[in-house]
């Protein structure tokens, strides 16, 4: 899997170097996984608001179990998305944006992928460090990755929460940029993912 190659091809597409034979949209797999990821992230954020705390039994309340499941879905979708993106022919943005726009887009995408990986992993670690299993709807649970450690549970929990708040802003920047490209610049940035 060559993510750096995919980002270079995405950069080349951003700057119009792949004009001939380039598709107008991302491949269907990339598009479907992108929108499923949007739904899973939105569900994770919504469900955590109603999740509460683990009960004394160590079993999470139902909304928190669904939050955990949404986070796992994000990880699975990321595992599908990155190889699909690495193998994809990246459609160029037309008309070609400037270098600064391409650089900001590249950094934002890297941040999005980092958050999509880090947040679910930190969430799993937070639960495990509390001495609990990640329980899912239907009574399923994941084996613990680490042993209980109260001090690390607190640190990882704070990091998970802080990154979750920063992730809001990165997502907002991504959405605002897509809308700006579509409504103001009137290029095909958003249409490539539809």
pLDDT in tens, 100-146: 998 999 999 999 999 999 999 999 999 999 999 999 999 899 999 99
Angle, vertex CA 188, rays to CA 183 and CA 194, nearest 5: 95
pLDDT tens per residue across span 155-173 = 999 999 999 999 999 999 9
- Give the span between the Cα atoms of 33 and 70, in whole angstroms: 14
What does the mean pLDDT of the chain come to? 87
Residues in Cβ contact with 141 at an 8 Å cutoff, skipping those fewer than 6 apart: 133, 134, 135
**pLDDT grade, residue 20 (50/70/90)?**
very low
**pLDDT grade, residue 52 (50/70/90)?**
low
As given in the structure block, the two tokens for residue 10 are 């995405």
pTM of the model: 0.82
For 31, phi then psi, to 5°, come to: -65, -45
Taking every pair of Cα atoms in the chain, the longest distance, rounded to a whole number of angstroms, is 61
Which of the two residues, 69 and 61, has the higher pLDDT score? 69
**C-alpha 30: how far from chain center:** 13
Q: Is 34 helix (H, G, I), strand (E, B) or coil?
A: helix
pLDDT tens per residue across span 172-183 = 999 999 999 999
Q: 119 with 71: CB under 8 angstroms?
A: yes
> Hey, how many other C-beta atoms are within 10 angstroms of the C-beta on 169?
10
**pLDDT grade, residue 16 (50/70/90)?**
very low
- Give the span between the Cα atoms of 117 and 98, in whole angstroms: 29
Residue 10 pLDDT greater than 70, yes or no = no
DSSP state of 107: H
Q: 33 with 77: CB under 8 angstroms?
A: yes
For 158, phi then psi, to 5°, come to: -65, -45
Residues in Cβ contact with 189 at an 8 Å cutoff, skipping those fewer than 6 apart: 93, 177, 178, 181, 182
As given in the structure block, the two tokens for residue 98 are 């400037």
Q: 168 with 49: CB under 8 angstroms?
A: no
């Amino acid at each position: 899997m060559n993510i750096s190659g995919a980002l270079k091809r995405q950069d080349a597409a951003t700057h119009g170097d792949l004009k001939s034979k380039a598709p107008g949209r991302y491949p269907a797999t990339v598009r479907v996984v992108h929108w499923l990821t949007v739904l899973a992230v939105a569900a994770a954020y919504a469900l955590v608001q109603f999740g509460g705390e683990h009960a004394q039994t160590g079993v999470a309340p139902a909304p928190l179990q669904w939050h955990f499941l949404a986070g796992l879905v994000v990880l699975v979708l990321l595992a599908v998305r990155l190889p699909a993106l690495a193998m994809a022919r990246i459609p160029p943005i037309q008309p070609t944006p400037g270098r600064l726009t391409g650089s900001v887009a590249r950094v934002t995408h890297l941040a999005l992928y980092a958050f999509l990986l880090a947040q679910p992993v930190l969430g799993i670690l937070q639960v495990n460090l509390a001495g609990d299993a990640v329980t899912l709807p239907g009574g399923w649970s994941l084996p613990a990755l680490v042993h209980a450690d109260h001090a690390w549970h607190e640190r990882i929990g704070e990091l998970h929460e802080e990154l979750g708040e920063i992730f809001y802003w990165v997502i907002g920047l991504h959405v605002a940029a897509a809308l700006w490209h579509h409504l103001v610049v009137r290029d095909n940035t958003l249409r490539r993912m539809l």
